[in-house]
Structure 1
Amino acid sequence: MTGFFNTSFGARLANDLRKRAGSVELIDGMNGLEAYYERHKLVAKANPIVNGKSKKDFHVAHKVALNDSGGRKGLYSKSNLIVVPARLNQSFGNQAIFINAEPGEHFLWTKDLQKKFKVDESTSHDELRNLLISFLGHEFIEWVDDKNLSRRKPKGESIN
């Protein structure tokens, strides 16, 4: 569990939560975490490796953006996450692309987020790990242990 943020998935999740989401409360329980993980595995398979580097042709996108311009924050949930071409995802910006979005299923209102679960770029790995355990429960620890996640490659090391 202590090495979770040294895995490719753990580092991606930490970066996303700190820089974009701003709250662990946007993870829709363990089902939402699993959905995010499965979509990232799909993206990893879809993005080709060229000259030792993974191309970024596809992204995991949110139907309701993490920082939607309407005061909403898109959830990491099975119903809110999709895999799309990178160009298309970048064209969305912070706009929702899903008109019939439901609170609690696709998004939460920013005003309803609890302060105790908020994170930012200054949140340490230890603090983030504790918040994830506090929010998701000990099932999160078991999930991390069961997944046997691959460690991320150090910067500058090519992918084989």
Structure 2
Amino acid sequence: MRRLAFVLIAFLGLPAFAAETAETAPDPLFVDGTTVPTDMYLWQKRVIVVFADSTADPRFAQQIALLEALPEELRERDVVVLTDAAPAAKSALRKKLRPRGFMMVLMAKDGTVYLRKPLPWNVREISRSIDKLPLRQQEIRDRRTAPEQ
């Protein structure tokens, strides 16, 4: 009986510990997009997908460097960056978005494709585009009217 009680306490306490650990660890900004389901970030994050036929593509390297330059701007806008430089993997993202060579895609939180670019964009240009989205406008308004904590 004591073993059962110990096991139950251990398992009931595990989710709370996992939640604490998840809250303290920051979300990764860059994620390998070849293994991510297309709807994984639906209504949680805005997704930037960077496609290329190889990591050696200079446009791919330039885009990643531009995104790495201002990660706090992207985190403020709830952005996650998915990279896919392996066309042979035939990922779900490639099947859905059908890139040809290099392509940068911005997807809204509802999963709609908001922007497709054949050339690298800097974080400032991306931020301006995100800030024009209706849901982002609502987030900005909510943040202004929220009481200070």
TM-score by length of 1: 0.26
Larger Rg, first or second structure (1 or 2):
2
TM-score by length of 2: 0.27
Between 1 and 2, higher relative CO (CA 8 Å, sep ≥ 6) is seen in 1
